[in-house]
Amino acid sequence: MGTDTKMALLDSAEKAVRSRGYDGFSYADLSSEVGVRTASIHYHFPTKANLATSLMERYNEMLEADLMALDAKAVSAAKRLRTHIDRYRKGLFDGEGLCLCVSFSISRESLEPRVLSELKRYRDISLNWLEKVFTEGKADGSVKSIGHPRQEAATWLAALEGAQLAARAEKDMTRFEETVALMLGRLD
Amino acid sequence: MGTDTKMALLDSAEKAVRSRGYDGFSYADLSSEVGVRTASIHYHFPTKANLATSLMERYNEMLEADLMALDAKAVSAAKRLRTHIDRYRKGLFDGEGLCLCVSFSISRESLEPRVLSELKRYRDISLNWLEKVFTEGKADGSVKSIGHPRQEAATWLAALEGAQLAARAEKDMTRFEETVALMLGRLD
DNA sequence: GTCTATACAAAGATAGAC
DNA sequence: GTCTATCTTTGTATAGAC
């Protein structure tokens, strides 16, 4: 294994949090999935809180990179919003996992301030990006009936996370599609 | 205490699940809040899974009663949807708690089939009721720009649960208001 | 970096007295 | 119904060998 054990642990932990919640997985779970002893996990992540922080940091870096890459493509606002929906659809893994941010929100009280600030950062990045795209959607006419861009952004993000919850509650991807149908319908 | 210990336990447990998640509270927590020993809790609820089931059953009964009472008032569709938003606003307890259903959805894997079916029932009741109200909103003209009622219902529920998550993530009720602003704007 | 061994606390749960 | 006492398992974490 060697140096990429740390990455394997992060991958396993992210999957665990997204599918069972922060309080719903243990180092023993990671141990059996990655193939190292729990003591070894503590070498890479001294505490579970530490691991949680690393998870949210990596998650936010990924988000920023994805959104930047999407902006660089210079396509219509509608097309970018469609790709944004795809992110959440893929992130569901057929009803197995939620947005890391949603999972962590529930366990709020068990988390350190550092994780909470990363949680807020995820939302800030998302809302600012969506607000910008809705403003552009008004200009290029690719998105139907846009209200106040900031409010559109907030509702959009909420509906997407709610759509993931719907699919997860019933382990049924059609619930996700049913929920985002109206959103997709607004995009040319 | 006597006979209403069971009710006090249910109240305490509901608050616990909604603010810390199913895997985030223990019988010890209930013990110190209600003022009975953990062994006594097992008398009322033999297992934690049993307690979870009781919680969701009571929650669904409350939902059904509330929606029926609301329908009985025979007010406009818009007014009923406004009251429905109020339910979720009050249920937040200033960013402390989520809909029980959302909390349980995260801990899906830790739950028994019985709880999962109650979870589905909560969503069915909600979606059917919303679909009906949106259909009536089309007829009485009190709700603006209605698409397919079933899809409106799904998006509405998702956005409300997402709005709760937003408020909880930042412990800030204005995040809830920001998220439901567009929804309120559609109601006469 | 990973292991074995172990410490220590907390969890869900049961037995039996009152 | 509630208590004390106890069991068993699991969870996070550390010490020290390799």
CB contact under 8 A, A145 and B145: yes
Report d(CA B57, CA B114) in Å as an integer: 10
For strand C, which nucleotides have at least one atom less than 7 Å from a protein CB?
1-5, 10-16
Report d(CA A38, CA A32) in Å as an integer: 9
Tell me the per-residue pLDDT of B16-58, one tens digit each, with 9 for 90 and over. Answer: 999 999 999 999 999 999 999 999 999 999 999 999 999 999 9
At A96 the pLDDT is 87
Tell me the per-residue pLDDT of B73-92, one tens digit each, with 9 for 90 and over. Answer: 989 999 999 999 999 999 99
Q: Note the CA–C1' distance, B129 to C10, in angstroms.
A: 43
CB contact under 8 A, B106 and A21: yes
| Mean pLDDT, residues B57-75 | 97
| Closest-CA residue of chain B to A178 | B151
**Any atom of strand C under 7 A from CB of A5?**
yes
Q: Do the Cβ atoms of A153 and A131 come closer than 8 Å?
A: yes
Interface test with B, best of A15, A20, A56, A105 (most B CBs within 10 A): A105
Q: Note the CA–C1' distance, A171 to D7, in angstroms.
A: 37
In sequence order, the 6+-apart residues with CB closer than 8 A to the CB of A15 are A97
- Average model confidence (pLDDT) across chain B: 96
Q: Which of B119, B85, B61, B115 is nearest to A165 (CA)?
A: B119
CB contact under 8 A, B179 and A154: yes
CB contact under 8 A, A155 and B182: yes
Q: How many Cβ pairs closer than 8 A exist between chain A and B?
A: 153
Q: Position of tokens 């550092």?
A: A114
At A95 the pLDDT is 86
Residue B69 has pLDDT above 60, yes or no: yes
At B92 the pLDDT is 97
Sign of the dihedral defined by the CA atoms of residues A12, A17, A20, A22, in that order: positive
| Closest-CA residue of chain B to A113 | B170
Parse chain B into domains and list their residue ranges. Answer: 49-185
Query: pTM for the complete prediction?
Result: 0.97
At A79 the pLDDT is 98
Residue B2 pLDDT class (50, 70, 90 cuts): low
pLDDT 10s per residue in chain A (188 long)?
A: 557 999 999 999 999 999 999 999 999 999 999 999 999 999 999 999 999 999 999 999 999 999 999 999 989 999 999 999 999 999 999 888 999 999 999 999 999 999 999 999 999 999 999 999 999 999 999 999 899 999 999 999 999 999 999 999 999 999 999 999 999 999 99
At B95 the pLDDT is 86
At B80 the pLDDT is 98
Tell me the per-residue pLDDT of B129-177, one tens digit each, with 9 for 90 and over. Answer: 999 999 999 999 999 989 999 999 999 999 999 999 999 999 999 999 9
Q: Tell which CATH classification among 3.30.2350.10, 1.10.357.10, 1.10.8.60, 1.10.490.10 matches the domain A49-185.
A: 1.10.357.10
Q: Position of tokens 């210079």?
A: A74
